[in-house]
Structures are given as structure tokens and as C-alpha cells.
Amino acid sequence: MTKINKKHLPLYFSSAVIILLIVVFSLIESRFLNAANMANLLSDAAPLLIMAAGMTPVLLLGSIDLSVGSVCSVANVFALTILLSFQGTHWTLGTAVLVSFGLTALAAIAAGAIMGLVHVKLKIPSFIATLAFMSIWSSVALLISSAPIAIPRQLWGMVAWYDISVGPFSLPLFIALLFIVIYYVILTRTVFGRGIYAIGGNERCARIAGVPVDRVKVSVFAINAFCAALASIFLVAKAKSAAPTVGDGFTLMVIAAVVLGGTSLVGGVGNVINTIFGVFIVALISNGMNIIGVDVFWQRIVFGVILLVAVAINTDRTSRSIAVK
């Protein structure tokens, strides 16, 4: 009898859950499997895929980033505010889009690096450091704009790229999957990626082995913030608007997706490709609850329970403490 490789168990589990969810929701609501809803589900998954890809190495370190939703919110309103400031100037629409989105990405990278430096240099646990920055960035988003900002109809052309698709597969989904593949190669084929796994496995041994632990950690938090900013740009293009609270619901969903993909909160175990399966579990549940009319507050409760179950399943209670670094 063939023995099942334990490394593949999270993948088997996630695949089984995806199939089960599709069957259950399609039986409850016949519209669930129609082409329009599937296209909408795949499009909605793109921002979550990007954010989950960024969060995966954070958890691989044995750390956590609770500020990712707030970074998404502040980047969301920052990008659109900068973009609309070019109205009435000599700048072309394409150049204005590139400048505003580029500045947003750079600001997010700087924000993530600052947070990483606070964490590693002041020896503040990532849970506490990112919780503090979550409050800071949430407030900054509201200071930039206390209310949602809409893109004027005459400027909708600047986000038309979001609606480009081939069948049910949208351009943002292709971009997200390409980013994940590139990040997977970086994590598995480079010194930087191997350093992340080494730190998550045993930080003290990694330091002795010469891994630049502090630099790797700061880089991972900076990349995670960049991913949040990229997701926020997707959200601007999708909604043709920005809101200072748009990322509030994402933190829980992102962490749940990564853990459902088999990444351990202890660190050192996980795979960014498997995170894709966790994301689609979350996306299916969210889409399914929306289409059958589940109240948004009940949805938050469901995702909280899902996170607890995912952590319980993936925690090895025979090993070291699950304290987050």
C-alpha cells in the first residue's frame, strides 16, 4: 500500500475542501456555478491572492503581520488621491497612473521596512509591533480621506485594464498568479528564500550559520506591505473608487487563507503555491455566503471560526511552542 507523504496532506485537505464547498453551495443555490458568478469569484480572488502571497513568508518566519489590512486601506486612498491630483495638469492619463501607483508602491515598501525595523531592532514581538502599526495606518487612511472617493466617469478609462479577461480568467488573476510563481521561485531557489525557511525553522541556528536574520525579516515585511499596496490598486480599479476602510476585512481572510494552505504559524513550514488553494477556499466561502445572502457580520464570525479550525489542524502539538516571534 502506497504511503501518503505528510508534506502533501495540506494540499489534499485543501483540494477536498474546495470540492466540498463547490458541491454544497451549488446544491444550495443554482446560480453559484453559472459563468458570471465564477468570473466574479476569480476576479475577486486576485487581491486576496496577492496579499496572501505576501503574508506567506511572514508566517514562514514564525512572525505575523496584523497591519496588512490597514496598509491596504491607506494605500487605497493614497493612490487615488495622488491620481486625482493630476486632473487639469499637463500630465497624460497613462503617466499619471504610473506615477501615482509607483509612489503608492514605494510608500508601502517604506512603511513595511519601517515596521520591520521596529520589530527587529527594538526586539518587539511582531504581534505587538504590527498591532500598533495597524492602528497607525488605519488612522492615516482616515486622515487622507474620511470618506470614500469615487473616480469620475470620464476617467474610468485609466482602470479599464482590470476588466480585460479571457473567458472567466481576468488580467488581475493572471498578474496575481504570475507574481506567486515568481515569488515561489525566489523562496525555493535563492539564498534569500532559504534564509526565510532557516529563520522559521530555528532562528538561533540561522544566525550562527551566517544568515542575515534582521535584513531578511525587514525585507519580508517590506515585500508584504508592497503586496498589500498592489492589492489596493486592484481594489481601486475594480470598484472605481477608494475607501479608508477597504482593507479592514482582509487581515483575517489573508491569515486564514495562508494557514488553510498549510503554512504553520510556528514558522519554517509552508509553500506559497499551496497558499493558492487556501485563498480559493476563502474566496469560495465568501462568494458562496454572499450569493445565498449571509449577513456580513455573520461572515466575519464564520471566518474567525475557520481560522481557529485551520490553526488547530496545522499545529503540531508535539513540537515547540507556537508563540509568534
* Residue extents of the structural domains in the chain: 6-314
Alpha-carbon dihedral angle through residues 280, 284, 286, 288, given to the nearest 10 degrees: 170
pLDDT at 300: 81
pLDDT at 163: 83
* Nearest residue to 84 via CA among 186, 154, 8: 154
pTM to 2 decimal places? 0.90
Angstrom distance (rounded) from CA 169 to CA 147 = 32
CATH 2.60.40 is the classification of domain 6-314: no
pLDDT at 48: 94
Angstrom distance (rounded) from CA 84 to CA 69 = 23
pLDDT at 262: 86
CA angle 117, 193, 110 (to 5 degrees): 30
- Which string of DSSP letters, residue by residue, matches 45-102? HHHHHHHHHHHHHHHHTT---TTHHHHHHHHHHHHHHHHHTTTTSS--HHHHHHHHHH
pLDDT at 1: 45
Query: Please, which residues have CB within 8 angstroms of residue 248's CB and are 6 or more apart in sequence?
Result: 69, 70, 73, 138
**Positions of the chain with pLDDT lower than 70, given as ranges:** 1-10, 314-325
pLDDT at 107: 95
Summarised one tens digit per residue, pLDDT across range 75-86 is 999 999 998 888
Q: How far is CA 228 from CA 94, 173, 258, 292, 316, in A?
A: 22, 15, 14, 29, 29
Q: Give CA 43 to chain center in angstroms.
A: 14
